[in-house]
Homo-oligomer: A and B are copies of this chain.
């Protein structure tokens, strides 16, 4: 308890603090929170800076523009994960059916459930007004993401586990419910009462069941 008496003097916040190393991370954190909460254009850079405990100017020391800040948030939270995820799936042992289910469940656990899914919602909501962001997101997230899913499907087809299907189209069938889920969570799900009755995990498993049922080779005796 004497600690709390000692600290007031030590804790006097210095006006200027030099912490180059940690600044970008703090800013990225603040930016993620605000972008997810308010959307891209409704988020003011000054607010991001304030939340990170720095001045407006400092933010522009680390990021060239608001758009650049956003891209960094996307890279930090999503794009940079792909190498790890790809690795994970290259070393996956088990049926492709399990793999597909694992992929969607992980997706929900690692992204969908977290605030990061707000980024997806934001991009889809504001893509019209910020074409460069749409382009960037497509390149850095959608393409690698689709490729990952396509890889799973092709694995199943090649092993004879799945029927020969148009994997390009099937990717959309896999991705659509996930994106729907993330959008929903950050729009109607956050407001409307009845919308919350949908259980994401249950929904995902049902989707996987449907997909597998459709894609699996059915051997009639």
Contacts and interface: CB of A to CB of B under 8 A. Distances in A.
A157 B199 CA distance: 22
A42 B39 CA distance: 13
Interface string A106-136: 0000000000000000011111110100110
A67 B220 CA distance: 57
Q: How many copies of this chain does one complex carry?
A: 4
A198 interface: yes
Contact of A169 (B125, B128, B206): B206
B192 A142 contact: yes
A186 interface: yes
Interface string A60-102: 0000000000000000000000000000000000000000000
Interface in A165-221: 168-170, 172-173, 176-177, 179-181, 183-184, 186-188, 190-195, 197-199, 202-203, 206-207, 209-211, 213-214, 220
A138 B74 CA distance: 29
B203 A128 contact: no
Contacts of A168: 197
Contacts of A125: 39, 124-126, 187
Most interface-central of A127, A170, A173, A193 (chain B CB within 10 A): A127
Contacts of A56: none
Contact of A41 (B41, B131, B197): B41
A143 interface: yes
A137 interface: yes
B38 A190 contact: no
Nearest to A124: B187
Interface of A: 37-39, 41-42, 123-129, 131, 134-135, 137-138, 142-143, 168-170, 172-173, 176-177, 179-181, 183-184, 186-188, 190-195, 197-199, 202-203, 206-207, 209-211, 213-214, 220
5 contacts: A41-B129, A127-B191, A138-B188, A142-B188, A209-B214
